[in-house]
Amino acid sequence: MTLDMPDSLLTARDRFDRLHADLRARICLLDYAPGTRLSEETLAAEYGVSRTPLRRVLARLESEGLVQSVHGVGTFVTDVDIEELAQTYQIRLELAEMTGRLSPVPPSPDLMARLARAADRARTLVTAPDPRAFAQLNMEVFLARLSLTANEALREFAERLYIRTARIWLKSVFSSRVDLAEETEMFLREIEEVEAALATGDLHAAALIQRAHISMSFTRMKTGRRPGRG
């Protein structure tokens, strides 16, 4: 999955990227729930590095809003309040649409293949729900779809906003606030619709589908699970 090379061939930046991506995934997938304290010393020991490069990673995560360090107290995984969540989703709606309008890029065969594989995995998850596996699949698809715009700044911000709120959505799955089976089905339908739009070359339509699904996802999260289902 990640870079598996002898450390002798890994540059400092590679090591940074690996640690950053790994810790970010752990936070986004709720391996570290909001409020959890991340021990610099423990993590450094686990990754086999000293505290110095690890602190650099934590500082980056702090600038991304995923953790917060307090001198003398500790470094804690942040939580997101409902107001900030709503604002972030509003922006994500706009950015999703912009993705199909500004500097659109035709889908590569690789992207189409990824989507097909993702659809397969989603079909499996519909029959055997798994919150963490679904969240990971969701993240992979989101990041892959960013290749549909050539606008670097747009990609960067869309990714940052997604990363910032993904775990909150996952939290509402674990708390049974939303129905995992329903979420998985909706996700599968979204992928299929996007595949169809991309197959016809309608990039703007693919973006609008994403926008619609982001909107619906947030609505389901706000409304909460309807009793009588599940």
Partner DNA sequence: TAGGATTTGTGCGTATGTATT
Partner DNA sequence: TAATACATACGCACAAATCCT
Q: What is d(CA 223, CA 106) in angstroms, rounded to the nearest whole number?
A: 36
213 binds a copy of itself (CB under 8 A): no
Contact pattern for a copy of itself over residues 45 through 64, marking x by CB under 8 A:
-----------x--xx--x-
Given candidates 35, 152, 200, 227, which one binds a copy of itself under the rule CB under 8 A? 152
Contact 97, 208 (CB under 8 A): yes
Q: Does 72 interact with DNA (rule: CB under 7 A)?
A: yes
- Assign 77 to helix, strand or coil: strand
Q: What are phi and psi of 105, to 5 degrees?
A: -125, 130
Query: Can you say how many angstroms the Cα of residue 99 is from the centroid of all Cα atoms in its chain?
Result: 17
Residue whose C-alpha is closest to residue 58's, from 74, 34, 82: 74
CB of 225 to a copy of itself, least distance (A): 27
* Residue number, 92 or 220, with CB nearest to a copy of itself: 92
Q: Which residues pair with 37 in a beta bridge?
A: 76
- Take residue 98 and report the two structure tokens written for it: 């912009």
Number of residues counted as binding a copy of itself (CB under 8 A):
25
Give the interface segment with DNA, choosing from 49-57, 107-115, 134-142, 180-188 (CB under 7 A).
49-57
Q: Which of 10, 25, 49, 102 binds a copy of itself (CB under 8 A)?
A: 102
Strand partners, 76: 37, 68
Binding DNA by CB under 7 A: which of 18, 36, 64, 69? 69
Rounded CA separation 53/44 (Å): 8
Asked whether the CA dihedral 202, 208, 210, 212 is positive or negative, the reply is negative
Does the protein bind a copy of itself through residue 88 (CB under 8 A)? yes
Q: Does 65 bind DNA (CB under 7 A)?
A: no
Angle, CA 185 vertex, CA 227 and CA 217 arms, to 5°: 70
Q: Is residue 108 involved in binding a copy of itself (CB under 8 A)?
A: no
Positions in the binding site for a copy of itself (CB under 8 A): 11-13, 56, 59-60, 63, 71, 84, 87-88, 90-91, 94, 98, 102-103, 150-154, 157, 161, 164
Positions in the binding site for DNA (CB under 7 A): 8, 11-13, 15-16, 37-41, 49-53, 55-56, 69-75
